[in-house]
């Protein structure tokens, strides 16, 4: 099998990491400034959360479409185009004074950003060796942390300096437009290197998608689909919890614990830094706990225990303890997201469906995100933040059962046992 040599593989992995990290900056800006936007426009929490829900809805719908079309894309053009449009959408949010108009712009942003993840995984699957894929999974996990740090860090800085929240969108726009050019140039170099001076031969099975005129292995049998549904539902529930925490934690800290806007943003920004340990934790436990769904049930169990602890201590308003529990719970959720969006897709590499599987699972994640941002905001508006915590904890507990049942079913065939 022909793959990129170590040097060029590292360059491609870093390019993918940088590109997707800045993509997060282009999608998290609204969430990072949600408290300020709600105050500036004088709207309710559920109205404010609706803009993010528009993004998540179009992203999820786009991912479902990309699951079938991603194999036909040329990532060099698609990612560069999508990052350019996303940059223009961020510029639009910074200039607009109408929430309905923001909803439309963020809808477009979600649609173009939905092409990125499956395209990046497809290009990594095509050019990287098995060892380099393992490295790529770790770096892919870091993109959320890097993007969130940049986005929330700049937002906190601008808030502290009294600079309008719109400035973040102007900066994000410039970063996205710049990385679009860098991506095109970098992938073009990768293609040239792969076909001439930068490739080596390795003794590995060739992914089916890379072999011409070869009959593809049929992955989606009736039984595989049945078990895969458990993974999809768990992905949706996991993202429901994750985005609920990221979106509304600054508001909870401000309204319930009296934390300043800038400080609450910084505290939320720290969460993804802790999640950097998620990829390493998954890597270690994946060797000891066989089965991806079984490992997910383990992480959901710990997350549920932490959520119950938060609920029990909530009346005492122990700020530091509460933040610590949220951070550890977020780490568990990020471990599950890493399993869902990177480890499971690459485990089907031999079938040639990495992009498709990643798109389907990522779409499920954003279905959960749609429900989270608007739904939890509405619940908070009607019943308070304690009810929000009850709902999130209930979702985590149900997820334990679903992932564990899915892991038992996955043992029955070789394909489901290897993938799920």
Indicate which CATH number applies to the domain containing 332: 1.20.1250.20
Residue 387 structural domain: 2-210+218-419
- What are the two backbone dihedrals, phi and then psi, of residue 214, each rounded to the nearest 5 degrees? -115, 135
pTM assigned to the model:
0.76
pLDDT at 98: 83
pLDDT at 208: 47
Distance CA 308, CA 79 (A): 41
| C-alpha gyration radius of the chain | 21
Low-confidence ranges of the chain (pLDDT < 70): 1, 45-46, 198-199, 201-220, 261-269, 271-272, 275, 350-353
pLDDT at 99: 84
Written as six digits, the tokens of 99 are 């929430």
Give the DSSP H or E segment for 2: strand 2-4
| Beta bridge mates, 3 | 200
pLDDT at 264: 65
Count of the separate structural domains present in the chain: 1
Strand-strand pairing, 199-201 and 2-4: antiparallel
pLDDT at 309: 92
pLDDT at 17: 92
Q: Is 290 left (phi over 0), alpha (psi -120 to 50) or beta?
A: beta
Residue/partner pairs of 43-46 with CB below 8 Å, 24 or more apart: 43/99, 44/377, 44/381, 45/251, 45/377, 45/378, 45/380, 45/381, 46/374, 46/377, 46/378, 46/381
pLDDT at 212: 37
pLDDT at 203: 58
């Amino acid at each position: 099998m022909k793959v990129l040599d170590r040097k060029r593989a590292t360059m491609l992995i870093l390019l993918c990491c940088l590109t997707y990290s800045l993509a997060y900056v282009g999608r998290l800006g609204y969430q990072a400034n949600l408290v300020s936007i709600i105050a500036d426009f004088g709207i309710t929490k559920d109205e404010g959360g609706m803009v993010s829900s528009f993004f998540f809805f179009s992203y999820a719908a786009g991912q479902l479409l990309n699951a079938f079309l991603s194999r036909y894309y040329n990532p060099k053009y698609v990612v560069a185009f999508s990052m350019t449009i996303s940059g223009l959408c961020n510029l639009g949010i910074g200039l607009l004074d109408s929430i309905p108009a923001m909803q439309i712009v963020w809808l477009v942003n979600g649609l173009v950003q939905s092409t990125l993840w499956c395209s990046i995984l497809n290009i990594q699957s095509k050019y990287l060796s098995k060892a380099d894929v393992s490295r790529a999974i770790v770096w892919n996990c870091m993109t959320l942390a890097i993007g969130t740090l940049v986005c929330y860090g700049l937002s906190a800085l601008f808030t502290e300096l009294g600079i309008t929240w719109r400035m973040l969108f102007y900066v994000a726009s410039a970063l996205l437009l710049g990385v679009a050019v860098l991506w095109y140039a970098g992938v073009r170099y990768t293609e040239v290197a792969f076909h001439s001076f930068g490739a080596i031969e390795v003794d590995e099975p060739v992914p089916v998608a890379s072999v011409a005129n070869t009959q593809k292995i049929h992955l989606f049998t009736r039984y595989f689909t049945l078990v895969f549904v458990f993974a999809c539902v768990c992905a949706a529930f996991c993202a429901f919890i994750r985005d609920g925490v990221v979106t509304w934690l600054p508001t909870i800290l401000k309204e319930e614990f009296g934390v300043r806007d800038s400080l609450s943003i910084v505290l939320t920004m720290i969460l993804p830094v802790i999640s950097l340990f998620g990829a390493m934790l998954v890597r270690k436990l994946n060797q000891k706990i066989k089965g991806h769904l079984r490992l997910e049930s383990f992480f959901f169990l710990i997350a549920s225990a932490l959520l119950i602890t938060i609920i029990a201590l909530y009346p005492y308003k122990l700020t530091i303890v509460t933040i610590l529990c949220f951070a550890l719970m977020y780490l568990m959720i990020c471990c599950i997201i890493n399993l869902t969006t990177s480890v499971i897709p690459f485990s089907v590499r031999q079938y040639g469906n990495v992009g498709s599987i990643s798109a389907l699972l990522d779409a499920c994640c954003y279905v959960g995100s749609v429900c989270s941002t608007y739904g939890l905001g509405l619940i908070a508006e009607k019943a308070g933040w304690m009810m929000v915590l009850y709902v999130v904890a209930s979702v985590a507990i149900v997820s334990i059962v679903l992932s564990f049942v899915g892991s038992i079913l996955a043992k029955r065939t070789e394909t489901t046992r290897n993938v799920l």
